Amino acid sequence: MSFVHIAEHVLFCNMKINSICVVRLSALGDVLMFVPLIRTLQHHFPQASITWIISKPAYDMVEGMNDVEFVVIDKPQNFSDYWQFKQKLKHRYFDILLATQASFRTNLLYACIRAKRKIGYDNLRANDGHRWFVHEQIEPGQDHTLEGFLKFARHLGVQNPNIQWNLPIHTQHITWARQHLPQTSGPIIIINPAASKPERSWLVSRYIEIINYLQTKWQATIILTGGPNTHDYELGTAITQACDVYNLIGKTQPKQLLALISLSHLVICPDTGPSHMAAAVNTPVIALHAVTGSNISGPYTFKHLSIDYHPTAMLLKYPNVTNTWGVLVHGNDIMSLIPTSAVIERLEQFFVRIKM
């Protein structure tokens, strides 16, 4: 960084910030990992209004957050969508724009937002021409996704972030969750078997092994959750044919699922949204990783419980790649690298710790 750029940065950091616009449209897990950045900004810049540009599915999870103005949009598909978005914000001018999503679709949104400063990703994460739409870049690094988001606050001079969520869960959703929770004295464990991409889902036969172990040794009650998708339904059907479980796949709204997770003892799932929902409500979660690495997308506050076979997958598929950060190991057989013994070992550690 040149002396001129350093001087400009110091000047900017001393500038009073009255308005901040952030863009994070999706996906669910990323949006949940994004919330601590919002809480950090609120804590360190209490005088600043915060406007969050977000897509409808993600908004359903964070709706009701205090002191946040949400601008809910559909993901733009054509020129007309961008024009309408530009018209919606034509009378707005922000002190800060945080361009926290680097994709072609969102990059074009940044051109429609007026702001004194537009802060985006470093070159490693600046995809699809991202750097042409921003004025400044955050510090580079091979970070966990949540820590990468917090670097936007650090760029504004914040040294002590607030790792908290405080997501509002309405009474009606808590009531719904209590009505759907079975009456039991044993542990209630949610298993969300499917990921958004089938290659990230674990094997049905191994879920069944784990369920049998939990029910036999720990008298656990198992609740299946998932979205209204064919893949989720197929996994759920296969499991319910072999096990006595409560199947709520396709039957929960986002806040209902969040409430359900908040009232449960443990979540088991692959790399998918409910992993981060559990972290957000402080419910322990055992996340299963192989296609992705937990060092990037694992549940941030429960990384110690994650089971991560991504390094093994890398050695198997890409033995000559030395820098594994951000590399996805594709293949329908990758999640089969995770043995049931690894999950049982983690479960033993969990139950000993909570002394059930």
- Is it the case that residue 14 has pLDDT exceeding 60? no
Considering the domain architecture, whether residues 125 and 236 belong to the same structural domain is answered as no
Considering the domain architecture, whether residues 239 and 280 belong to the same structural domain is answered as yes
Considering the domain architecture, whether residues 195 and 105 belong to the same structural domain is answered as no
The CATH number covering residue 312 comes to: 3.40.50.2000
Split at pLDDT 50, 70, 90, the class of 356 is low
Side by side, the strands of the sheet bearing 115-120 are: 69-73, 49-55, 19-23, 94-99, 115-120, 136-137
pLDDT tens digits for range 273-298: 999 999 999 999 999 999 999 999 99
Q: Please tell me the pTM assigned to this model.
A: 0.93
Q: Tell me, what amino acid is at 11?
A: L
pLDDT tens digits for range 28-85: 999 999 999 999 999 999 999 999 999 999 999 999 999 999 999 999 999 999 999 9
Helices (H), the chain: 3-13, 28-44, 56-62, 79-88, 104-110, 145-155, 171-180, 204-218, 230-242, 254-262, 273-280, 294-297, 310-317, 340-354
- Domain, as residue range, for 34: 3-155
Considering the domain architecture, whether residues 282 and 213 belong to the same structural domain is answered as yes
- The partner residues of 20 in beta bridges, in order of sequence, read 50, 96
Considering the domain architecture, whether residues 220 and 302 belong to the same structural domain is answered as yes
Considering the domain architecture, whether residues 144 and 251 belong to the same structural domain is answered as no
How many domains are there within the chain?
Answer: 2
